[in-house]
Every structure is written in structure tokens, then in C-alpha cells.
Amino acid sequence: MKPPPRRPVVLVFAAYYRPAFRSGGPLRTLLNMVDQLGDEVDFRIFTRNHDLGSREPLAGVTLGQWCDVDGTQVFYGSSSDRSLSAVSRMIRDVGPDTVYLNSFLDPSFSILPLVVRRCGWTAPGIRWVLAPRGEFAPSALRIKALKKRLFRAAARLTGLHSGLIWQASSDFERDDIRRAMGGIAADIRVATDLTERLADVPPPVTPRPEGPLRVCLLSRISPMKNVCYAIEVVLRLRCPVEFSIHGPIEDQAYWETCQPLIAAAPAGCRIAWKGEVSPDQVRATIARHDLFLLPTRGENFGHVIFESLAAGVPVLVSDRTPWRDLDARGSGWVRSLEMPEAFVDVLESAAGRDPAARRAAAVAAHAHALEVSRSAAVLGANRGLFVDAVSEAPPAA
């Protein structure tokens, strides 16, 4: 009997991995990839031993050595495991067909492995794939812009990123990568982020209680998520509203600039930060609201948008995400950040929806999420990043 084909070994460098959860979309993307491709790809994950914004070691996992996490080998490393010699040794010991980097700018989990590669301390024939996760969006590049320009210039001079495969999550991100990296990014492959596969059952829509419009924002609190803008929009509503903000405070200084806005809320407008939400409660949390609001400055995918649609809650987002067809699908609205009054109009219109219109929007939202979650083309594009690496690799000596 012919033996089954060997699973390609993919060594993943990722800043955070489960049970960590605060890093949001990039982690969700990786988890979905491992869950859906793990039977075909032998993923080995090298990650930090703590969560974003914490120095406390992760509980319930083995630290400092390879361990099994839901069928995947994971190494939760300390800072001492992130040196040139340690990373070089890890790549050599794992012997991967592919090295998969989940950032362009992360010093430990992207730049360091690429320096090891550039120094020639890795075996020939390894495929290197880099997923920048939205780091080339114009809005992202404007944050610490000089530092990022200098790094890109130095990287081009040294050939740090020569010969890589670049993963873009959308056609928009592909264009962002080309603008930022030019000819160095010669091989860009669009593989949209994988999502959880949904059951073909729409979520129940509970009758909306009498009272204010219930609006939710769930994300890391940072300038990129544009939380202050969302608050300013809500403050302009002429209808009663409850605006619940959920998520970790990533940028304390930015959050402090939001406080005077919250304090200025008039009667009939309640704005409150509800704290962090564990991954298993995200959808249920969003489902308790009438509408999800995210005027983000840029998303390469936007997993929380998918979560809202999956919960049957229509979304109102900026025009800086790949979710450009929400209006046409009846699952939400896309509006320009240059026109805050357009956000106000949508929210006030949503407040006046009758039960039938609300039910139709919920059904459309879930149908949209279901279609995204079942896309064979998206699964195939992600598979193609890794599974043909074995056939491309040179034969063993």
C-alpha cells in the first residue's frame, strides 16, 4: 500500500499563540489556519511565553520546550530563546519545508529570523513566507513613519527580504505591499484570512427591547481602531443610544484622550468601556447589540467584523477594510471616514428600523458570514502557501 504523502513542515514565528488572546486578528488568523489545515500541514509554532500587555507566564502550558497544544507542537519561548544563535538552532533542528512569518516589523518574530537567513545560517531550499498583517496600510505606515521608512530602506539595501513569498489578505493589501516594497516584493500571493467554519443555521434574533439603540465596538483600544472617532459619532446622535466599548487598552495615552469625550455625553447617550472579552465570548457579546461599529483606519481582514456578521449583527465600518460589499449584501454599511455625518445617518436610521427590517438584516449578515466561512477558493489559496513546498524542495541527500 502506498504510504500517505508526507505533511510539509511549517515553522511559524508568531508573537502570540493560544491560550494568549489579546493580540486580536493576527492570532485569530493563525488559529483558523492551524485548525483548518492541520491535517495537511505539520505546523510548529514558536511564540512568546506571555500574552500581549503582560509579563506573567501563560498558565496551563509547558514553557521553554516543545509541547502539544490541541495536536500542534508549540514552543513558548522566553527572551533568551530569541537570539541569533537560538533561532538559527531552532530552524536547523526543526528542518522545515517553509518558514512562516506573521509580521514585517516584529524584531523577534520576523526581522531576527530573516537576519539568520541573510547570514546563510539556514539550510538551502527552505521556502520563506511573510504575512505583513496590515502593516503596509497607509494609515499604519503613518504611525512612527520615519522609523518605518528607515527600516524599509535598510532592508532593501541589505536584501533582507529578497526571495520571499508575500501573503496578502486581499487585493487591497497586495497593492499596499507593492507600493511600500516595490520590486523586492516580486511574489505576492493573495490568500484571504481563514475564518471559523459556521453551521448553516442562522442565529436567533431576539425582539429588540424598548429603549435606546444598542451599539457595540469590540477591538484593541488603539489609534488604528479609531475609538475616539466612534465616540464622536455617537455623541452626535439625536436618538437615545447605549455605546458599549469592549477590548484591551493597548494604548493608554490614546484612551485617555477619549475620556473627556465620554464625560461630555449628554442625557440619553450612555458610553461605557466594558473591559476585555475572552475569545469564546466575543460572538455572544456582540449578539446582545443592535449594531457593530468599527470606523477603523485600516484592517487587512477584520475578524471581528466576521464575528459580528456571524452573530447576525449588521456592521457599520469605514472604507478601509476588505469588507466593501456590505451595503450590496444588506449585511451592513461602508462609509468614508471623511464623512462622519454619514455614520450618524446610518445609526439614526438603524434606530428606527422595524422588527421585519431588523430580522432581514440579521439573516443577511449571517448569510454573508456563512459564505465567507465556506469558501473553497480561500482555503485552497491558503493551502497553496505550504503544501507544494515539499515538491519544490530539493531531494534529500
Summarize pLDDT for 309-319 with one digit per residue, the tens. Answer: 999 999 999 99
Reduced to 3 states (helix: H, G, I; strand: E, B; else coil), residue 74 is: strand
Domains, the chain: 9-194+375-392 (3.40.50.2000), 213-373 (3.40.50.2000)
Question: Is the model's pLDDT at 207 over the cut of 70?
Answer: no
Q: Are 286 and 311 in contact (CB under 8 A)?
A: yes
Q: Is the pLDDT confidence value at 255 over 60?
A: yes
* pLDDT surpassing 70 at residue 211: yes
Please give the single-letter amino acid code of residue 11.
Answer: L
User: How far apart, in whole angstroms, are the C-alpha atoms of residue 167 and residue 239?
Assistant: 43
Amino acid, res. 330: G
Task: Please compute the mean of the pLDDT values over residues 40-50 and round it to a whole number.
Answer: 97
Looking at this protein, which amino acid is placed at residue 179? R
Strand, helix or coil at 34? helix
pLDDT of 74: 98
Instruction: Give the helix, strand, coil percentages of the chain, each rounded to 5.
Output: 40, 20, 40
- The rounded mean pLDDT for the chain is 93
**From CA 297, how far away is CA 226, in angstroms rounded?**
6
The pLDDT, as a whole number, for residue 208 is 66
- Extract the C-alpha cell encoding 93: 533542528
CA 313 to chain centre: 19
Question: Mean of the pLDDT values across residues 36-59?
Answer: 95
Per-residue model confidence as pLDDT tens digits over 143-181: 899 999 999 999 999 999 999 999 999 999 999 999 999
At residue 1 the predicted structure's pLDDT band, cuts being 50, 70 and 90, is low
What pLDDT band is residue 389 in, cutting at 50, 70 and 90?
A: low
Long-range contacts of 274-278 (CB under 8 A, 24+ apart): 274/244, 274/245, 274/246, 275/246, 276/22, 276/246, 276/247, 276/248, 277/218, 277/246, 277/247, 278/21
Which stretch of DSSP H or E encloses residue 396? none
pLDDT value of residue 394: 42
Neighbour-count burial for 333-359, b at 16+ CB within 10 Å, e otherwise: bbbebeebebbbebbeebbebeeeebe
The model's pTM is 0.88
**How much is the pLDDT for 206?**
65
Scored b (16 or more CB within 10 A) or e, 69-106 reads: beebbbbbbeeebbeeebbbebbeebebbbbbbbbbbb
The answer to whether 110 and 78 are in contact (CB under 8 A) is no
pLDDT, residue 395, reads 38
Q: What is the mean pLDDT of residues 67-87?
A: 95
Q: Give the helix/strand (H/E) hosting 306.
A: helix 303-310
Report how far apart, in Å, the C-alpha atoms of 129 and of each of 12, 107, 109, 164, 193 are.
10, 16, 13, 6, 14
All three cell numbers of 166, joined, read 508575500
- The pLDDT assigned to 139 comes to 87
- Environment class of 199 (CB within 10 Å of its CB; exposed 0-12, middle 13-18, buried 19+): exposed
Q: How many whole angstroms separate alpha carbon 180 and alpha carbon 347?
A: 36
> Torsions phi, psi of 29, nearest 5?
-60, -45
Q: Which three cell numbers stand for residue 97?
A: 519545508
In 70-115, the DSSP E strands lie at 72-77, 98-101
